[in-house]
Amino acid sequence: MFEVALVFLFQVLRIAVPYLLTSLGATYSERGGVVNLALEGLILAGAFGATVGQFYTGSALAGTLFGICLGVLAALLHGYMTVTLKANQIVSGVAINILMVGLTQFFLKIIFHSSANSARIEGIQTANVLLNPIFIFTVIALLLSHYIFFKTPYGLRLRATGESARAVDTLGINVSRMRYSGVLISGVLAAL
């Protein structure tokens, strides 16, 4: 019985990692004053980029970096539409989600001749979740983010930007830059 509970706990931790990273990314964006409903699209962009990057290079690290780049590009699009063009943040987020679903299926069909989920590879076993580098990174990112938000000038400025952009602007802090930074950090974290 104990083994079943332990396996269940490890599965919960493994499955929680992408949700934790994405919600942490959303926190950066929200603290900067930008509602980021594009998170699902950022996850899709990151997953697609990681898959294609790993497929062409054979390196998991290169795939991860390529996934992060695509996640940041999708986040940059959301930031451009909401911060620079002052588009409705909800509409922009939903549009990016729909765009990423279409683009990933389109390019999956071109590259892999299939837009469905890939088959499970029997030789690959799930690793111990506590030793997984992404799990360790997630725990460190959570702790580091708490420190950044509440103990650094950047965190204070980002939180202030989300609370009162006019007040931050009168202090000479570039509101657009702060908002872009929050959205781009959310792109990095969601793409992982």
Provide DSSP, 138-164: HHHHHHHHHHHHHHSHHHHHHHHHHH-
Q: At what angle do helices 175-191 and 2-31 cross, to 10 degrees?
A: 160
C-alpha to C-alpha distances, 124 to 8, 29, 60, 120, nearest whole angstrom: 19, 35, 14, 9
Interatomic CA distance for residues 62 and 59, integer angstroms: 5
Residue 1 lies in a domain: no
- Of 21, 22, 29, 20, the closest CA to residue 158 belongs to 29
Residue 12 lies in a domain: no
Residue 2 lies in a domain: no
What is the token pair recorded at 145?
């983010």
Interatomic CA distance for residues 67 and 190, integer angstroms: 10
Residue 19 lies in a domain: no
At 141, the pLDDT band (50, 70, 90 cuts) reads: very high
Give the range of the structural domain holding residue 86, as residue numbers without chain letter.
24-114+129-191
State residue 172's pLDDT score: 94
Residue 4 lies in a domain: no
* Number of domains forming the structure of the chain: 1
Residue 81 lies in a domain: yes
State residue 69's pLDDT score: 98
Residue 6 lies in a domain: no
97-128: pLDDT as tens digits: 999 999 999 999 999 887 666 655 454 555 56
Instruction: Report the predicted TM-score, pTM, of the whole model to 2 decimal places.
Output: 0.90
What does pLDDT average to over the chain?
Answer: 91
- Residues 6 or more apart whose CB falls under 8 angstroms from that of 133 comprise none
At 159, the pLDDT band (50, 70, 90 cuts) reads: very high
Contact 159, 149 (CB under 8 A): yes
Residue 15 lies in a domain: no
